[in-house]
Structure 1
């Protein structure tokens, strides 16, 4: 009887080990598919131009807006050309004028800083995904009946997390969610990206929403008018 029990325990351990190995291999395969799909989608987006509207709001009120025409340069970085620039505000004299000028300058700096932070995560970089994969900290979970969510902690900086949601077949990127920080780790920044599909083409980040709850600041980027570059 003891030998039988011992044998069953050994079988259980072997099967458990096989299950863990299978799970690990399955996760590795899924992560590799995510990296490949993200890279292929990004490569195709480089053959388009588009318009990008950026709005910075404070306590629900829009404080700064800009519209750029965008395309990828030879180095793979986005080249932005201003299309719409808001008219200069009426100059105010004296102390009040200096205060307004200071606040306007701070808003522009805030807009540039938050935009730079967004570009660290959107679009996801395959090489950074690979670093997290190599660290063994990436994970996958269900995000609905037909969706899978892949989480990459420590993607761009310590304490952050990038979550990419794909369809079940890992062919279409659905959304991107990020928890990160701007200047200090305690100032939490959240980022939510809704992906849209071009007819017969790649998927693009239609709406990007960055929120800093502690300062009631929000940056919204809307991308539109995608046009195929003439080859």
Structure 2
């Protein structure tokens, strides 16, 4: 009888824990979607500078800056500022070999940057679909305060978008993505740090991708926010 009572109690406690977990997932997904939606609208009132820096074997190879703003129709416009650097290569046969490798790496880097931007900003509708399909996982980082939610197959099979949120402050803290670039069997990860503007608008301040097998590192930073002209 005692064993039966204990089992019933354990089942009851498990049921409560499961309900709390489901409630946490639902509440945090709702908060993430709200932040992403509100910030996307607010960002249309700003212009800023996007700086993309590429490192190869720890050495900076290029830096490019673009001025970003939203057009009247809501399209995000990016215009090169003219601030860009690129390392010069040696001449001769060795220089040609280096130049060939540089072109190959440049193509890979462009592909990587394009891939990163398919996750930025995360799409609230995709997040909702994954949640509705019961695939969202939650990890407690700090009880009742900080949580990390994972959204598998966000863009393609096998990838994962994870978003960390501070529930007490109702703010997104960071995000990370595990995906592939040119080979589904070779995963790369990039980490996104979020910051706030004075009006509470959240944005991806810094994105860092490391591709160890390619000795490649890409850093994308958004800074210099100011009210867009005429807004």
Q: Per the shorter chain, which TM-score range?
A: 0.7 to 0.9
Tell me which moved more, 174-183 or 98-107. Answer: 98-107
Measure how far apart 1:19 and its partner are. Answer: 5.0
2:42 is aligned to: 44
Measure how far apart 1:106 and its partner are. Answer: 2.6
Secondary structure of the residue that 1:46 maps to in structure 2? helix
- Structure 2 residue 213 is matched with structure 1 residue 214: yes
- Structure 2 residue 28 is matched with structure 1 residue 30: yes
1:148 is aligned to: 147
1:173 is aligned to: 172
Secondary structure of the residue that 2:155 maps to in structure 1? coil
Measure how far apart 1:61 and its partner are. Answer: 0.9
- Structure 2 residue 191 is matched with structure 1 residue 192: yes
Contact 1:34 1:170 in 2 (8 A): no
Measure how far apart 1:20 and its partner are. Answer: 3.2
**Any idea what the Cα deviations from partners look like across 1:38-67, whole Å, max 9, x if unmatched?**
221222122211101111111101122211
Higher-Rg member (1/2): 1
Measure how far apart 1:76 and its partner are. Answer: 4.5
Contact 1:181 1:187 in 2 (8 A): yes
Tell me which moved more, 161-170 or 182-191. Answer: 161-170
Map 1:1-231 → 2, pairs under 5 A = 13=11, 16-17=14-15, 19-73=17-71, 76-86=74-84, 95-96=93-94, 98-144=96-142, 146-169=145-168, 171-229=170-228, 230-231=230-231
In structure 1, list runs of 5 or more residues that go unmatched.
none
In structure 2, list runs of 5 or more residues that go unmatched.
none
TM-score when normalising by structure 2? 0.84
Measured in 2, the distance between the counterparts of 1:50 and 1:90 equals 29
TM-score when normalising by structure 1? 0.84
**Any idea what the Cα deviations from partners look like across 1:93-115, whole Å, max 9, x if unmatched?**
66455435433433432232111
Secondary structure of the residue that 1:121 maps to in structure 2? coil
Contact 1:58 1:218 in 2 (8 A): yes
Measured in 1, the distance between the counterparts of 2:191 and 2:203 equals 13
Contact 1:181 1:188 in 2 (8 A): yes
Alignment CA distance shift 1:44-1:191 (3 Å) = same
Measure how far apart 1:25 and its partner are. Answer: 3.7
Measure how far apart 1:13 and its partner are. Answer: 4.8
Tell me which moved more, 10-19 or 98-107. Answer: 10-19
Secondary structure of the residue that 2:118 maps to in structure 1? helix
State the aligned residue count: 229
